[in-house]
Chains A and B, each alone.
Chain A
Amino acid sequence: MDSINIEGTPKTPEVSFDAKTGQIEIKGRSIPENSIEFYKPLVDWLDKYADIAQGVVNVVIQLEYFNTSSSKCILDVFKKLENMHNKNKTEVVINWYYEEDDEDMLEAGEDYQSILKIPFKMVEIAE
């Protein structure tokens, strides 16, 4: 299965989904006008990866900004990861990064944590 590597732009995040290591990263800004178009291939990839994933799937979400239409798509990504986590062979951990004074980003992570049944780690980045 191929991995996904997408460079970041002023409106879309850098994405790295590694099928070999199970390292999944979304970093930067996610504020596109059409977020469904950007996230659909990522959600489809996770659907396929769920069949072969084994061991630990380490997820890094390190966003500076995201718009509300991305917030729905990010939840779709998390729901695929939640399904993966509930399969016997896989353990998924979501690492939600936020800058130390960015209470809104911490709160956004906690909102997702309260909706999902999957391990979340809140990771503070010192400025």
Chain B
Amino acid sequence: MKADIHSLYEKSKKGDLVATHEGDINSDLITKYLSGVESSLSEAGELTKITRKVYNILVEALQNLFHHLEIPPKEYLDSVNLPETCRYAFCTLIREGKGAYKVTCGNFVSNKYIQFLRDRIEQLNYLSSVELKELYKRILNNDEFSSKGGGGLGFIEMARMSGQKLGYDFLKYDDCYSFFVLEIRIG
């Protein structure tokens, strides 16, 4: 059975919704999303310390989508009336309680990358905060950028800022693609 992406998106929005986006991911959208979240948290009187963490995690989550998402299969885009160039993804921010938030991102990935991503997230979830810091410093200082301009640090930073295990799932879409859902909790 194909992943029901609409249901995944609707599920990610359940609760006290602070911000949401579904559709194409581009630089302007990221700027607007971040600005909207900053205003919402400020209006809600959220502590600066929490706002900073939410903002930092969203920067990494959205830019991770920007750099790495796969353009969805045409069959999916046709089914939801999106153009075939649409870099579809979603990103929601839910307030779960006082100073507690959940970021959920969803995007298509090629099935061939699933094992790599799963291993990477599992490795980070296994590490202590001290080990995450050491890994961050080691990769920071390795002089390498990925071919897509990322530094290989985004997931580590999200794990460090969150202080909690990264939640994730891969839902099979077809023989080539799956839908990747990443959940990051704050507070």
Contacts and interface: CB of A to CB of B under 8 A. Distances in A.
B157 interface: yes
Interface in A94-113: 99, 101-102, 104, 107, 111
B142 to A, nearest CB: 9
Contacts of A36: 145, 149
B31 A67 contact: no
A65 B59 contact: yes
Contacts of A19: none
B151 A68 contact: yes
A65 B53 contact: no
B112 interface: no
B161 interface: yes
Interface residues of B, number: 30
A111 to B, nearest CB: 5
A83 interface: no
Contacts of A102: 49, 52
Interface in B74-124: none
Interface of A: 10-11, 31, 33-36, 65, 67-69, 71-72, 75, 99, 101-102, 104, 107, 111, 114-115, 127
8 contacts: A65-B59, A68-B156, A71-B140, A71-B153, A101-B49, A104-B53, A114-B137, A115-B140
